[in-house]
Structure 1
């Protein structure tokens, strides 16, 4: 028998629907356009046109939870209830949390050298904390660089995704997620799980105490984050905003930094042409313009 089969005939779809043959919920082009509008208004996130499948798969769980069959009904209810707690779930579902310990590793030696020059208590803001790997990496760096002074150091870790923040507060990760963490750091800053927790690791209490996790929307009119900070980490989040939103956020960062403070950004982010407040100091590291 041949290993080849005839291509199946295309299944009929309702005009304006995306792939209804494989879906149990009604999802139209208008629905996707509405999703893109709402998430931009709520969080400043620009959802690209190729994110249709992602939007469907993540939000379909919310519709099923509420017993809904049509995206239009869900989005209409959301739009009519601006104070609904469902907005938090909607935003969390469409937020991407790609992170790891010591990601973009060249930043951490630069941070270490910078904070060694600080005379008072060190304060760092991690503005896209996700599930905690980045702020804990910052806290480890401060512990190494400052020694006993690290007890007075603070890492403010914020994110719009409250589900991610809840995981970050727990500080529990699989051992595989510690791939970029040296054996020495694993022994000093993590507890190894056993029994039902075998294969897991938990951040030690003394390291966790350095990090304060708080929800924050970078596009909101008011921020709970209060300066001055010795450094701000805002890495790999601005790529989800349009240029106008990026420029506005950068201008709001400037007065929150100490005069010699540093702004660390993601490897694919270049803000030299967006603002007069910052100038490039090194590879994806900025300082205030004089």
Structure 2
């Protein structure tokens, strides 16, 4: 049941579409979002938040943002609505082979050195904030190509996101042809399947790559990421820009705890670790390494 009080409900599709997010309710929501997932919601984000959450008001048949907040903060809301709300407010922008110099550095510098030092081992890599799957599948392509010239090399990829909505897309591994344009032609032939309905303009990642990627939901604000093993490489690109500096520092310290000595972390080109108290050293533009 809903929280006690006069929660005004209407039939879905018949609510007041002009519901306005007041400064008070925006403050309640922005504080809650920051406390829950570390994302800052400055005042300039108010219009964006209002527009995105209108979808949830319509889906639930809730009349106002005040009532929505009351429901969200109730026991039932925290259980049933929290993930839905976070899906609406998180930004998920990614592409195949985004920031391609990172993949060149991975293939030509990081992997050859790793194979020499860890013969017969399995590389453990984490795509943190994987969105709809373009990054982990790009990694799977790059690592599979490296494996062709390095017999015995194997890898596994963990891909996580806070949004269940984009994780479902990632698991399905189905993309529009326009989305895979950055994939080199030779890799398209190997790793993408065209739909039987050629007019659909859809492709799917081949099963061999899909089997290499394990998806699960993860909130960066969790103290324990639930990792069963320490990692060799982390890709966390264009994610920490949504957090304030204290939250960035805490998050990177948690990453560090889950990295093997000498492990690498790849950040986005708009992100910097400068001024943060984390034991990581720069080895390449926006690529850092855990000190031994």
Is the aligned partner of 1:85 residue 2:80? Answer: yes
Task: Name the structure 1 match of 2:102.
Answer: 107
Query: In the aligned structure 1, how far is the partner of 2:87 from the partner of 2:229?
Result: 27
Secondary structure of the equivalent of 2:193?
A: strand
User: What's the Cα RMSD here?
Assistant: 1.8
Contact persistence 1:126–1:134 (CA under 8 A): yes
The normalised TM-score by structure 1 is 0.88
Structure 1 residues 75-117: Cα deviation after superposition (integer angstroms, max 9, x where no partner) = 1111122642200000110000010001011111121231233
Number of residue pairs the alignment of both structures matches: 269
Is the aligned partner of 1:50 residue 2:44? Answer: yes
State which of 91, 96, 119 in structure 2 corresponds to 1:96. 91
| Greater CA drift, 244-253 or 168-177 | 244-253
Structure 1 residues 169-209: Cα deviation after superposition (integer angstroms, max 9, x where no partner) = 00000000011101111110010113276201100000110
Query: In the aligned structure 2, how far is the partner of 1:150 from the partner of 1:179?
Result: 31
Relative distance call for 1:150 and 1:275 in structure 2 (3 A) is farther
| Greater CA drift, 53-62 or 22-31 | 22-31
Contact persistence 1:226–1:256 (CA under 8 A): no
Task: Name the structure 1 match of 2:279.
Answer: 277
Task: Name the structure 2 match of 1:224.
Answer: 226
Q: Which runs of 5+ in 1 are unaligned?
A: 1-21
Query: In the aligned structure 1, how far is the partner of 2:17 from the partner of 2:171?
Result: 36
Query: In the aligned structure 2, how far is the partner of 1:150 from the partner of 1:188?
Result: 20
Task: Name the structure 1 match of 2:125.
Answer: 124
Secondary structure of the equivalent of 1:262?
A: strand
Q: Which runs of 5+ in 2 are unaligned?
A: 1-15
Task: Name the structure 1 match of 2:161.
Answer: 159
Contact persistence 2:20–2:50 (CA under 8 A): no
Query: In the aligned structure 2, how far is the partner of 1:182 from the partner of 1:197?
Result: 22
Query: In the aligned structure 1, how far is the partner of 2:74 from the partner of 2:122?
Result: 46
Secondary structure of the equivalent of 1:201?
A: strand
